[in-house]
Chain A
Amino acid sequence: MVQGSAVRRRSSLTKFILRRIVISIPVIFLVATTTFFILRLAPGGPFLSERAIPPEIQANLQAKYGLDQPLLVQYGRYLSSLLRLDLGPSYKYPERTVNDIIREGFPVSLQLGLAALVIALLLGIPAGVFAAVKHRAVLDRLTMSVVMLGISLPTFVVGPMLIFVFSLTLYWFPPALWGEPSQLVLPAITLALPYSVYIARLTRTEMLEILDQDYIRTARAKGAGEFRVLWRHALNGGLLPVVSFLGPAVADLTTGSIVIEKIFAIPGLGRFFVESAFSRDYTTVMGTVLFYSVLLIGANLVVDILYRVLDPRIEYR
């Protein structure tokens, strides 16, 4: 019986994953199509320049990238190269392809995002637990006020503040660039703060509820120390909402932040998202949009699977 149900569960999990992947294909196709045509509606083009280019050269440029073809032909060509996972050359940086740009930029955004995630958890969970334990005491209010401040301050304020204090006044960390561990600290903290605040609030709310429950009282009655009660008994349950928050948070954090990448001059992928649109770098816009779509769809799928692993009562549909 037990074995049988496990097999059924596994096969239904495989089916679930397969179905989700199949459903994703039209979604990605739709994203590609919409992006392609919306981009062409924007005035100007990738080779518009402040300096006049002789019409002959302009025509050669257009022809070189197939932009002289009818839109539908261009669209067909784009889809066919997409099937080969070839995102094409960047129009703005023609010595590189969009695949190069993603390959170089994404690992940077990923590292920064994961570092920020660790910091967010290390700050957020203890702060939430602390506030729950000191519920309604001055310290709870103080902790939650700091947390509120964290929510209200956007990253483009926190970042320069940290730079001012730790780079330009104390000279502890470099104010910009990427490559050394010391250069990770300030941007990771800046990126982590809003998430740690959110995690702290989630943890506090859940912990308040749990600390009132019978099994905690039982544990206390049996003489367990306060520390053990908190970290072994209560926190297990208290973290569930945090886990479900992690799914979207991971996707959010690793796709890179244009503001932080710009303030700290980090060569991540986030900036391409916005900048390529301004330079009408069609292929790069398409490439990054599609890459993010796949990433988000993947992250959501993983979260859905995790839910079911954590809570077997949820059925796969």
Chain B
Amino acid sequence: MRSRRISFLRGKLSRLSPNVDSFLVLLLAASLAASSGCRQQGEYYGKTEPSSGNVFRFNNGAEPEYVDPALIVGQLDGRIASLLFEGLTNTDPKTLAQIPGVAERWDISPDGLNYKFYLRTNAKWSDGRPLTAKDFVYSWTRVLAPLTVSRYASHLYHLVNGEEFNQGRISDPSLLGIRALDDYTLEVRLRQPTPYFLFLTSFVTLFPVPSHIVEKHGVRWTAPENIVGNGPFLLSEHQSHARFEFVPNPRYWNRDKVRLDRIIAYSVDDNYTSANMYESGMVDWLPSYFPAEYVPHLKSFRDFASTPYLANYYYSFNVNKPPLDNPLVRRALSLAVNRRAITDDLLRGGQIPGAHFVPLGFPNYQSPPAEEYNPQEAVRLLAEAGYPGGQGFPEIEILFNTLESHKKIAESIQQMWIENLNIHVTLRNEEWASYLKSLTNLEYQIARSGWIGDYPDPTTFLDLMESTNGNNHTGWKNSEYDRLTMLARQETDAGKRMEILQRSEAILMYQAPVMPIYTSASNSLLKPYIRGFFPNSLDHYPLNEVWIDQQWSRDQPSGGEVR
């Protein structure tokens, strides 16, 4: 899911007032000096007294664009919707396995094409109406309906006729591969075996929405006075650009497990402000919303956590333009980048260096080995491509969207290429919308890119480079790669499927239309008195069973060990 907008907003602030960053860093240094000197709270960052009452407060990073699950694209929007709604399945934050949600159990046919979900009879909407299989038929059809303009409708292209219906090639919803056999049995037919389909049923886009409310209130159905959900919490208040407040949903089927009395989600989009709020004890949890330059210092506190995250950072090569149309050149450029220097010396934010496109942390997948840094080999490849010692190599340009960290990385790579390959490299930065346009229209040579996985399967990354994929902004087309991607879709044996995917990734590394740099890290701050929280590579944190340990004291093991 998309979350880069957050850091992008901060980039804007620093552009408005170019001195603000360096000043704040100075101020931070002063405050750190002061806090270690005067306050005896070295172990944890800021105040550690729980708030009175059973209230969990966190900063959600910005004002969500949507609350309507069908329309959501952003990660922070998803956090709000996941409190209010629940899908057929849930993802267990500890094991990332699929556990029952609205569906009590399910059957999958041996060919992996047919799913039967048996809904629990005690699942209800928060206004008391029973939640039935028909609600899912309505909600999924709504996501696919062309006029809903759901940007994640492609998650339901796995359904028979899903893509055709969404793109207007067929208009009869009864042809879709979803059917209510009775009130509590839902049948889903897929066009090809999709091993991660049960994960998608836990994803926001596939959440049920209340037809009676949506039809009655139209676009206003998500306003606090109208909204009806089926999740563990109810929306009690929404102050735009300030906060959302939630109370437990008394009709939630698993109400007994919910231990919080209230949740407050703030929409604070300035990372410095956000860090101040955490330090002064106004919030209990910050999922990544603090300045990246604080991370090296924050690492020494026990309430800081860093986990690898299913997201990568890479450079795209526009393979249509010489000299980057030559795979030898692209591989030479890739081998001339010292990734460890970027992650460990420059960023120091817990990122994991690597030249593999699929980030670390996928269950049951291992990327083929990749050679990361070898300047001699890079020079040799460049010579083989016709540029011995960098001679005659045309000037190349790196494009990135305006943000301090992108600039630092680009400058560092520029330096490495100049030193290792003796070539000319220039930098170009553009603000977000212009950058997106240049990227989409292939008006660049080398561009900063990044991707966040949508589901825990390597194809969420590997599919990107298929020649027909709309997110392949490199111009690269490889028929063998496309063939393997297609093959993986048909393969029902998990082991064989992973082998096919490894072969795909090997092609990607050898052809190098992209230059992966690192696997991202998800950094967070969590007060030590919070319980029921489990770090995982999906950045998936259900709040259903979170509770606040009012008896917490410094002598007890910290939340970091218990959670």
Residues of A within 8 A of B (CB): 42-45, 48-54, 56-57, 60-61, 64, 89, 92-96, 100-101, 104-105, 154, 156-157, 160-161, 163-164, 167-169, 171, 174-179, 258-259, 262-265, 267, 271, 274-275, 278-280
Contact = CB atoms under 8 A, between A and B. Distances in A.
B434 interface: yes
B531 to A, nearest CB: 25
B556 to A, nearest CB: 24
Interface stretch (B63-71, B106-114, B382-390, B534-542): B63-71
A43 B437 contact: yes
Interface centre among A100, A168, A179 (most CB of B within 10 A): A168
Interface string B417-437: 000000000000001111011
Given A53-B470, A164-B27, A275-B9, A177 B17 contact: no
Contacts of A171: 280
A53 B437 contact: no
Contacts of A64: 147, 149
Interface stretch (B250-258, B262-270, B295-303, B350-358): B262-270
Contacts, number: 160
Interface centre among A89, A104, A177, A265 (most CB of B within 10 A): A265
B17 A156 contact: yes
Given A160-B23, A160-B272, A44 B241 contact: no
A154 B239 CA distance: 29
Contact of A174 (B153, B243, B280): B280
A61 B31 contact: no
A52 B470 contact: yes
Contacts of A168: 31, 46, 276, 279-280
Interface centre among A95, A163, A258 (most CB of B within 10 A): A95
A60 B240 contact: no
B2 interface: yes
A111 B345 CA distance: 46
Contacts of A160: 23-24, 27, 272
B434 A44 contact: yes
A176 B268 contact: yes
Interface residues of B, number: 66
Given A54-B154, A95-B66, A278-B432, A177 B242 contact: yes
Given A60-B149, A95-B66, A262 B23 contact: no
Given A43-B433, A275-B12, A56 B268 contact: no
Given A50-B436, A177-B282, A156 B270 contact: no
A51 B2 contact: yes
Nearest to B167: A56
A104 B240 contact: yes
B276 A175 contact: yes
A259 B16 contact: yes
Interface string B3-36: 0100001001100110110011001001100100
Interface centre among B24, B63, B240, B434 (most CB of A within 10 A): B240
Contacts of A178: 242
Interface in B63-88: 63, 65-68, 71, 73
Contacts of B266: 177, 265
Given A259-B17, A265-B273, A49 B63 contact: no
A258 B434 CA distance: 23
Nearest to B8: A278
A120 B352 CA distance: 51
5 smallest A-B Cβ distances: which pairs? A52-B470, A44-B433, A267-B241, A175-B276, A267-B242
B429 to A, nearest CB: 14
A95 B226 CA distance: 13
Contacts of B219: 89, 94-95
A101 B67 CA distance: 16
Contacts of B166: 54, 56-57
Given A54-B166, A95-B68, A262 B13 contact: yes
A254 to B, nearest CB: 18
18 contacts: A48-B433, A49-B2, A50-B4, A51-B2, A52-B470, A56-B146, A57-B149, A57-B153, A93-B240, A156-B23, A174-B282, A175-B280, A177-B242, A177-B243, A177-B268, A262-B13, A267-B240, A267-B242
A78 B223 CA distance: 26
B63 A93 contact: yes
Contacts of A274: 12, 16
Contacts of B437: 43-44, 48
B105 interface: no
B282 A175 contact: yes
Interface centre among A50, A177, A258, A271 (most CB of B within 10 A): A50
Contacts of B267: 267
Interface string B525-546: 0000000000000000000000
Contacts of A280: 433
B162 to A, nearest CB: 12
A216 to B, nearest CB: 44
A154 B270 CA distance: 18
A252 to B, nearest CB: 17
Contacts of A105: 240-241
Nearest to B46: A168
Contacts of B292: none
Contact of A94 (B17, B30, B66): B66
A54 B470 contact: yes
B408 interface: no
A53 B151 contact: yes
Contacts of A54: 153-154, 166-167, 470
Contacts of B38: 169
A265 B433 contact: no
Given A42-B433, A157-B23, A169-B34, A175 B220 contact: no
B220 A95 contact: yes
Contact of A167 (B68, B73, B276, B469): B276
Nearest to A100: B240
A51 B282 contact: no
Contacts of B46: 168
Interface in B352-399: none
A100 B274 CA distance: 26
Given A51-B73, A267-B240, A267-B242, A278 B12 contact: yes
B12 A265 contact: no
Contacts of A157: 19, 23
Contacts of A53: 151, 470
Contact of B268 (A49, A100, A265): A265
Contacts of A174: 280, 282
Contacts of B13: 259, 262
Given A94-B65, A262-B269, A278-B12, A156 B277 contact: no
Contacts of B128: none
B322 interface: no
Nearest to B435: A44
Given A263-B273, A265-B270, A275-B9, A164 B240 contact: no
Given A51-B471, A56-B168, A263-B272, A278 B240 contact: no
A263 B153 CA distance: 37
B222 interface: yes
Contacts of B240: 93, 96, 100-101, 104-105, 267
Contacts of B24: 160
